[in-house]
Amino acid sequence: MNTIKTFGELKKSGYKSRTIKDELRENLIEKMKSKESVFAGIIGYEDSVIPDIERAILSRHNINLLGLRGQAKTRIARQLTNLLDEYIPFIAGSELNDDPFQPVSVFGKQLVDEMGDATPISWLHRSERYLEKLATPDVSVADLIGDVDPIKAANLKLSYADERVLHFGIIPRSNRCIFVINELPDLQARIQVALFNILQEGDIQIRGFKLRIPLDIQFIFTANPEDYTNRGSIVTPLKDRIGSQILTHYPKSIALSKSITRQESRLSATQKENVVVNELLATLVERIAFEARESEYVDSKSGVSARLTITAYENLVSTAERRMLLNGETKTFVRISDLFGVIPAVNGKIELVYEGEQEGAGIVAMSLLGKAIRNEFIELFPDPAKLKKKKEASPYQEIVSWFGDGNSVDMLLQEGDKSYKKNLEAVPGLSKLVETYTGKHQPDDKLVMMEFVLYALAEHSLIGKSALQRGVKFTDILGSMLSEKDFFKDEN
């Protein structure tokens, strides 16, 4: 089809022109009939967001995706190009991608009138039919819609009364395309007002030129609910003109969140080959984000992006890789102590309710890590608090008593695998406890679980944990109270 070069050839081919909304609708219907996925790689929205988007497309609606940061809003918008035809014809040289059957620009109309079936045709690929604009307070009407161009007027020797002196903005140039405005509430109210007629009636006004241009655009807007109160709002008449407002959300389970993290994390081939990540560690990374979304110290209006777990997972693997390289090893596995390496990734992804010193985010991040360990522990082992309340015998007594007799364990962050194994196996009852409640493990996985038990018992205040210069020391609880500040200090 894209070998056709003139309007006459296009007519003879039997090509049928259709609006972009009809194009999206009809192509979606075909994909749904063939059970073909439209939104590849979008995890966790199968029963919520995606059905809403499909309904909006079938209804030929413009769409507003409303949700907190890191909820795949822009990715969804970009994947809508999969519903476009591979190529569409347009009048060659047209700024507005004029449909030869229904040209909207002066240039397109004049060319068809003058040349008729000889009008030259070019073809636009679906990848070129996606345009995106980040809304910022400095965006002007000229940027979006257009303005008079004095240079064009001078070069063409035209008066300012001639429509050809206009320079069109990004929206008219998006004719027959998907156009996305990200963070819509950041647009000034007067700029939002300029979108009214474009959305509803299709006419625009530029410097006194009132033009009836039936633009054919699929609008997608994205917005953060925080913006409604903190930085701006979507003016009511504009919201009224947007057909469907769809709420996005964070993953509703740790399993879904893990799937997203593994899909999106960028690990090198050597990292994947040489660094083994235990499922427990992958779960703990996700729990940090879940704890942050519930934390009283983290601003819930800002949200906790899925990018937190993705970058934290990357840092976790890199922390183990660095230790492996420093110890001259060729392979390693991720340990609980490697979680210290994810703190820089967490720091930049959480916005505190009360901003204090720079150290504030770090302390909150350590607290979130401690809570993640504590809460994951009671999913796998008996809850120490419930055992104490019911006055039942504690399966942790042998371990606690050993530390109470004055014994201690130093877990250094950079120690080699042999030293790491020796330190954990020195604690009586630790290996048996892990086997009793979590079953048989591969040797490396078992060591990770044993280390996890020590950190968790410290979080539940059954044993002590204090900071060393390059690691932590596990002791009896009294000894820990007399030492310096806890690494995983709980602010509660």
pLDDT in the model for residue 204: 67
pLDDT in the model for residue 231: 54
Query: Tens digit of pLDDT for each residue in 143-187?
Result: 888 887 777 766 666 665 566 777 788 998 999 999 999 999 888
SS (H, E, C) the chain: CCCCCEHHHHHHCCCCCCCHHHHHHHHHHHHHHCCCCCCCCCCCCCCCHHHHHHHHHHCCCCEEEECCCCCCHHHHHHHHHHHCCCEEEEECCCCCCCECCECCCHHHHHHHHHHHHHCEEEEEEHHHCEEEEECCCCCCHHHHCEEECHHHHHHHCCCCCCHHHEEECCCHHHCCEEEEEECHHHCCHHHHHCCHHHHHCCEEEECCEEEECCCCEEEEEEECCCHHHHCCCCCHHHHHHCCEEEECCCCCCHHHHHHHHHHHCCCCHHHHHHEECCHHHHHHHHHHHHHHHHCCCECCCCCCCCHHHHHHHHHHHHHHHHHHHHCCCCCEECCHHHHHHHHHHHHCCCCECCCCCCHHHHHHHHHHHHHHHHHHHHHHCCCHHHHHHHCCCCCCHHHHHHHHCCCCEEEECCCCHHHHHHHHHCCCCHHHHHHHHHCCCCHHHHHHHHHHHHHHHHHCCCCEEEEECCEEEEECHHHHHCCCCCCCCCCC
pLDDT tens-place values along the chain, 492 residues long: 668 999 999 999 999 999 999 999 999 999 999 999 889 889 999 999 999 999 999 999 999 999 998 899 999 999 999 999 999 999 999 999 999 999 988 889 999 999 999 999 999 999 999 999 999 888 988 888 888 777 776 666 666 556 677 778 899 899 999 999 999 988 888 888 888 878 877 666 666 666 677 889 999 999 988 654 445 688 888 889 999 999 999 999 999 999 999 999 999 999 999 999 999 999 999 999 999 999 888 888 788 888 999 999 999 999 999 999 999 999 999 999 999 999 999 987 888 876 554 557 788 889 999 999 999 999 999 999 999 888 888 999 999 999 999 999 999 999 998 999 999 999 999 999 999 999 988 999 999 999 999 999 999 999 999 888 888 999 998 755 544 444 444 444
pLDDT in the model for residue 1: 62
pLDDT in the model for residue 33: 95
What is the average pLDDT value for the chain, to the nearest integer? 88
List the domains of the chain with CATH numbers. 7-247 (3.40.50.300), 254-481 (no CATH)
